[in-house]
Structure 1
Amino acid sequence: MKKVYDVIIVGAGVIGCSIAYQLTKRKKKVLILEKGKIGHKASSAAAGMLGVHTEFNDNEELLKAAIKSRDMFPALSQELREISGIDFEFTQNGMIKLAFTDSDQSALLRLADVSKDAVWLPEEEVSRLEPGLSKRNKGGLYADKDGNVSAQKLTLSLASSAVRLGAELKDFSPVIGLLRDDGSCNGVMTRHDTYYSSEVIVAGGAWSGEILSTAGVDISGYPVKGECFSVVLEAPKIKRTIFTEGCYLVPKQGNHLLVGATEHPYTFDESITVGGLNGLMNKAIELLPDLIYGRWEKAWAGVRPKTAGTAPKIGRVPGWKGLSVASGHYRNGILLAPLTGIMMAELMEGKEISPLFRLGDIDERMLKSESKN
């Protein structure tokens, strides 16, 4: 029997599950296909930071989009808990992005002026808020509305809520090809079955390019491995997330402290290296000296999807009817998941993504070739 859906989503990470949730709220018949376990790749490895000022310094539109998405989390937390019964541990503990050079300080002062969502604090004010930090910084940008979540629980709550609202989810179902008919995409093939739909959305994270390449599409993305570790402290040493360009500290429930992350581009290798962890530990201890008393918990790595710029690729694939992509969120997949879900759901309803929140349409030049098959 032919299996037909309104929308097929390829990838059950946080982005794919957010899209599925928003589509099922709109009564769409949705199928989610995941090649492994639900949320088992970057979505489970992420620190869960909701930091709008971490890397959107030079793009005011992206900064506004990040703020909009972050501000959806309080309501989303309650909404998903009521549907799925899963608490994804949303906390609005704030974030401080530290400066260590005059150049850092100038950049963060400019960002504070553009953002209007954060304030500059001199070193003595940073120390008053977080006395456990070392005093070698020149101050920091403080965003009191930023926070963090459990990335894995967020993904599971979105997936569970989507399924409860009618979506079908099939894990261990890798997509091996897209069904094409005269410039239209009307379904997908897995190793075991074929599924048909009016729309296909590729949300496979770092593996999106591999999937889209079967249709001759290049989204100019690449994988970036990040290594992290966590410790358990006897008592809380910081209250807020601390972010620097080379290291971040994220306090979690139960005196757990998550430390991340290294960056190894162009690799899908998820192994953990001694050198990577050693460098990360040294940076973390420089920031928070009492970290040396922490009890080791675990280390892990995840592969994040990066694009050539700072913006993810969200929108329809030029030259194709019924084929869209939502990928390349890099270190901001958790933060941008709510907004991405709504944007893609609206796109499936025939609405245009407004210029303010269009996070990076796929350019015609990114097509390897026009499909004529």
Structure 2
Amino acid sequence: MKKQHDVIIVGGGVIGSSIAFQLSKRHYRVLVVEKGTVAQKASSAAAGMLGAQNELEKDCTLFPIALKSRAMFPGLAEELKFLSNIDIELIQSGILRVVQTEQEVAHLQSVAAYQQNEGESVEWLSKEQVKAKEPQISQSIIGGLYMPNDGQVSPPLLTKALAQSAVNLGAEILEFTEVIDFLHENGHISGVRTGTDNFYAEKVIVAGGAWSKQILENLELSIDAYPVKGECFSVRTRGPIIKSSIFSTGAYIVPKSGDRLIVGATERSHTFDESVQLSGLLQLMMNAIQIIPALKQAKWEKTWAGIRPQTGDGLPYLGEHPRIKGLFIATGHYRNGILLAPITGLLMADLLERKESVNHPFRIDRLSREVNL
């Protein structure tokens, strides 16, 4: 029997799951096809910071939608808890971005001024104020930018909650099923081919993270995207030692439940190798201890790596294939996939329904040098 759906989503990470959730809410018959398991790869490797102000400083195209996406999380957390009974562990305790040089001070003070002019809550803290907020901070820290509205979630739980909520609203998920080709004729998508079967839909969305470029090569579409490996590790402490997520140029430290801290992340471009190298971990450890000396007494837990999708201009690709109608792409979120997942789900659902302008800044053909047409 012909397996017909309204929409097929290739990829069961946080982006694919968010799109599935939004489309299921609009009563679409959705099928998610995932070659591994839901919430795998980068969606499970991320620390989960919602750094709309921390990551996207000023004059950034992503800044407005990042703020909108961050604002969606409180309501989304309640909705997902109701639908899936999964707590995404939303914590809104702010992000503290610390500095150790006068050059960094000047830069972050300019960032603070810009964001204050934009109406965002942000506060420059002196060395003494940083120490008062986080007593375990090193004496080498000479100041910091505190962004109280930035926060964090558990990326695996967020992804699983989105996927389970979509299923509870009628979506189907096929795990351990790899898409090996696309079905299309006369310039219109008609489905996907897996290793075992064909599945049909008038709309298909590629949301394969760092692997999206490889998936799209079957359709002679080459996007300017590449993988970036990020290595992290986690430790446990005897009681909480920090309240805020702490970010610096050399490392970030994110407090989780159970007195657990995640420390990350290295950056190694153009590799899909998910192994962890000692050199990267050593530098992370040294940087983290320089910020929080008490980490010397922490107990080791584990280490891992995630492969993040970066693009040539740093903006994600959200839009329709330039030649094949009904085929959409949602990839290239790099370090902000967790933060941008809610707004991406909405944008892609609107694009499918032709409610969103095709001239938005994330369209697939935005620069001729980025897309080989």
TM-score normalised to structure 1 length: 0.95
Greater Cα offset, 10-19 or 56-65: 56-65
Structure 2 portions without partners, runs of 5+:
none
Tell me what 1:87 maps to. 87
In the superposition, relative to structure 1, how do residues 134 and 278 fare at CA in structure 2: closer, same or farther (>3 Å)? same
1:238 and 2:242 correspond: yes
> Aligned-pair distance for 1:64?
1.7
CA distance in 2, matches of 1:55, 1:45: 18
Query: 1:9 is aligned with what amino acid?
Result: I
Tell me what 2:341 maps to. 337
Query: 1:221 is aligned with what amino acid?
Result: A
Query: 1:197 is aligned with what amino acid?
Result: A
CA distance in 2, matches of 1:142, 1:130: 11
1:221 and 2:214 correspond: no
In the superposition, relative to structure 1, how do residues 185 and 51 fare at CA in structure 2: closer, same or farther (>3 Å)? same
Query: 1:10 is aligned with what amino acid?
Result: V
Tell me what 2:14 maps to. 14
Tell me what 1:142 maps to. 146
Greater Cα offset, 8-17 or 91-100: 91-100
Tell me what 2:288 maps to. 284
Tell me what 2:355 maps to. 351
Equivalent pair of 1:216/1:367 in contact (CA under 8 Å): no
SS in 2 for 1:72: helix
CA distance in 2, matches of 1:97, 1:162: 35
Tell me what 2:32 maps to. 32
Describe the superposition over 1:264-299 as per-residue Cα deviations: whole angstroms up to 9, x where unpaired. 111101011111111110000001000010011111
Matched ranges for 1:101-180 at <5 A: 101-116=101-116, 117=120, 118-180=122-184
Query: 2:14 is aligned with what amino acid?
Result: V
CA distance in 2, matches of 1:6, 1:59: 38
CA distance in 2, matches of 1:60, 1:331: 15
Structure 1 portions without partners, runs of 5+:
none
CA distance in 2, matches of 1:95, 1:253: 16
In the superposition, relative to structure 1, how do residues 359 and 15 fare at CA in structure 2: closer, same or farther (>3 Å)? farther
SS in 1 for 2:74: helix
1:303 and 2:303 correspond: no
> Aligned-pair distance for 1:353?
4.3
> Aligned-pair distance for 1:36?
0.5
> Aligned-pair distance for 1:61?
3.5
Equivalent pair of 1:60/1:114 in contact (CA under 8 Å): no
Equivalent pair of 2:189/2:327 in contact (CA under 8 Å): yes
> Aligned-pair distance for 1:214?
0.6
How many residues align? The count is 367
CA distance in 2, matches of 1:95, 1:208: 31
CA distance in 2, matches of 1:308, 1:67: 23
Matched ranges for 1:195-210 at <5 A: 195-210=199-214
Tell me what 1:46 maps to. 46
> Aligned-pair distance for 1:135?
2.2
Query: 2:363 is aligned with what amino acid?
Result: D
Tell me what 1:362 maps to. 364
Describe the superposition over 1:81-126 as per-residue Cα deviations: whole angstroms up to 9, x where unpaired. 0000111111101001122333322222222222232222222211
CA distance in 1, matches of 2:110, 2:364: 30
SS in 1 for 2:112: helix
Tell me what 2:5 maps to. 5
Describe the superposition over 1:42-98 as per-residue Cα deviations: whole angstroms up to 9, x where unpaired. 000110111113332243441121111111111111100000011111110100112
Tell me what 1:258 maps to. 262
SS in 2 for 1:301: strand
1:323 and 2:347 correspond: no
In the superposition, relative to structure 1, how do residues 263 and 174 fare at CA in structure 2: closer, same or farther (>3 Å)? same
TM-score normalised to structure 2 length: 0.95
Equivalent pair of 1:222/1:266 in contact (CA under 8 Å): yes
> Aligned-pair distance for 1:318?
1.7
Equivalent pair of 1:21/1:162 in contact (CA under 8 Å): yes
Query: 1:39 is aligned with what amino acid?
Result: A
